[in-house]
Amino acid sequence: MDFINKLKLNQVQKKHISEINERVSDVFPPDLYEHTISTLFYSEKLAGSYILKDGNMDYENFQTDQIAYYKLCMVALLHDYGKIFNFEKLKEVALKNNDRIDAVREDFDINSILHGFAGAFIVKDEFNIDDEEILKSIMYHTTGYCNMNIADKIIYVSDKIEERRNYREVYYLRELSLKNINLCLLEVYKNNIIYIIKNNKNIYSNTFNIWNNICKLYGGLTDGSRR
């Protein structure tokens, strides 16, 4: 796969990513696979600015940042793996692991977030991935959590503004993502809350705390051009 060769990974990492890619491409419907790859591309682009420091390979934290980048690629490919399972199966997995998910029972009835909660445990079993950071990132990719790390901010944002997404604010959000990831997170999160309310959808029980946390950290930021 050409795009895998272009990722800033070593040969062993590329082989692993390639295996994951083959598996997901076999089982994902075309639309979901295209969204997955598009999320990977967007995450990779943001990682170049915020994790790998514009591809500069010669700096102090390169080893840890390279691992963060590798994990980000895995999460991008697997974040929606839960979506190929039906609601009953996802709910069963979530209930079985409910003590390890930061949610109340009612949250497990919200279809749009359940695939993340349950998907993390399914990925753990089916792909033998035990890394807690990867599983946490998959688990909360649609909800976010308080004090998100840079890789999880990138996944959260990329999932919602990847190049296949098409809604009024997406062009501004893409621009912002390259200028200031924290401000972009705030704007994407806000956008998501507005969407949920406008469409009469149920809201995740922790959204209040997460929004307050994001506001406290980044509410005073400005991108210098709009707002």
Residues of the shown chain interacting with Fe ion in the complex, contacts defined by CB under 5 A = 80, 142, 159
**What amino acid is encoded at 65 in this protein?**
D
Q: CB of 36: closest distance to Fe ion in angstroms?
A: 7
Residues 50 and 104: their CA atoms lie apart, in Å, by 33
Residues 111 and 105: their CA atoms lie apart, in Å, by 13
- With H, G, I as helix, E, B as strand and everything else as coil, classify residue 203: coil
- With H, G, I as helix, E, B as strand and everything else as coil, classify residue 155: helix
Q: Which C-beta is closer to Fe ion: that of 159 or that of 187?
A: 159
Q: CB of 217: closest distance to Fe ion in angstroms?
A: 24
Q: CB of 156: closest distance to Fe ion in angstroms?
A: 10
Q: Which C-beta is closer to Fe ion: that of 80 or that of 152?
A: 80
Q: Which C-beta is closer to Fe ion: that of 13 or that of 142?
A: 142
Packed helices 62-78 and 132-139: angle between N→C axes, nearest 10 degrees: 40
Six-digit token string for 119: 């998907």
Q: Which C-beta is closer to Fe ion: that of 65 or that of 151?
A: 151
Is-contact 20 73, C-beta < 8 A? no
Q: CB of 86: closest distance to Fe ion in angstroms?
A: 15
Q: CB of 74: closest distance to Fe ion in angstroms?
A: 14
Q: Which C-beta is closer to Fe ion: that of 3 or that of 10?
A: 3
Q: Which residues contact 150 (CB under 8 A, 6 or more apart)?
A: 50, 51, 68, 181
